[in-house]
Structure 1
Amino acid sequence: MRRPINPVIPYPHEAIQHTRCVLAMTVITLYLSLLKPGTIAGLGDLGTQVHKIERWIERCTDDTQRRLSAGAKRELDRRFRILAGHVDAALTANDDDMKWATWASGLWAGLIFLEDARNTCPLYFRGLHWHNLLKTLTTLCNMLEKEDPRITEIGTRVYEQAA
């Protein structure tokens, strides 16, 4: 789909686009880092998707390698403090089922952040690697949703709190 030449609602300033892309990739990377290396191998198809996402994240990070402004750092810190509560819940849950749901819902929130970047950040979200990241993460999240349908609701709530 082509973007309109003169959109009705203008895209955000370049610095805001950069911050949104950094936020999306950081959230995805954060939740992927919660998986133990031995766990990924035992996940089968899910583990394959995780490896693909890690590869695309690495490539997309190259596009956003520039210094963040002080305002962007404050904004990201504010959002990360909100997300920290959700990450703590994923780490401290006693029930393995709840740990899994909390982790998967965090990835779902990362998917929404990435969708947000796709829709509002044309200066950064461009190139096949970005679209491959989105496609691969969407596939993983759909697989996780089949395992536990409540992750969509929890993940959307996490996104709304941090957005």
Structure 2
Amino acid sequence: MRRPTTPIIPYPHEAIQHTRCVLALSMITVALSLLKPEAFSQLGDLSKQVEKVNRWLDRCGDDTQKRKLSAGAKRELDARFHILAGHVGDMQSATTDATRWTQWAAGMWAGLTFLEDCRNTCPAYFRGLHWHNLLKTLTKLCNALEKVDPQIAEIGTRVYEKAA
């Protein structure tokens, strides 16, 4: 029996793939933007990973900006961003630096989960070394963050599930 040449479950339409990639990159960008400069200096060796993530994020963003979002995609992203804004609000209203840091790290984990979703379902956009380098660098950063605080994976996954 021959193997099928196309996947059994077809990939989503290219417009949906584009929307998913924009969502993943946006989540990571927002999480990085919430990292305060004084907290960045306290990351030590992890600050190098954050800088690498930023660099690859910019390169991957170039791929998604070549296509405009449709009105439906804008509505869908707006709804998902509204959900993610709740997480950002939780982070900004955190009373202690430790809680704020945990919420930031959970946001990075959610971004990683969105990016893994893109790797699995968006071959039209998630291609090229820069996408794989972003995934590898972000995975390394999130694994290191999880060693500091194991609950970030659980919180980040919940954020992903709400918005996905």
- Provide the TM-score with structure 1 as the length reference: 0.95
Shift of 1:5: 3.7
The list of structure 1 runs, each at least 4 consecutive aligned residues, that deviate by more than 6 angstroms after superposition, is none
Give a deviation string over 1:76-120, Cα, whole Å, max 9, x none. Answer: 000000010100111110021111111100110000000000000
* CA distance in structure 2 between the partners assigned to 1:63 and 1:82 by the alignment: 25
Q: Tell me, yes or no, if structure 1 residue 127 matches structure 2 residue 128.
A: yes
- Provide the TM-score with structure 2 as the length reference: 0.95
Q: Runs of 5+ in structure 1 lacking a partner?
A: none
Aligned residue for 1:97, secondary structure, equals helix
Q: Give, as a single letter, the amino acid of the residue that structure 1 aligns with 2:146.
A: E
Equivalenced residue count is 160
Q: Tell me, yes or no, if structure 1 residue 56 matches structure 2 residue 53.
A: no
Task: Show the counterpart of 2:34.
Answer: 34
Q: Runs of 5+ in structure 2 lacking a partner?
A: none
User: How does 1:12-31 map onto structure 2 within 5 Å?
Assistant: 12-31=12-31
Shift of 1:37: 2.9
Aligned residue for 2:26, secondary structure, equals helix
RMSD: 1.0
Q: Give, as a single letter, the amino acid of the residue that structure 1 aligns with 2:125.
A: Y
Identical counterparts, % of pairs: 71
**Segment of structure 1 superposing worse, 109-118 or 41-50:** 41-50
Shift of 1:27: 0.1
Q: Give, as a single letter, the amino acid of the residue that structure 1 aligns with 2:37.
A: P
Shift of 1:41: 2.9
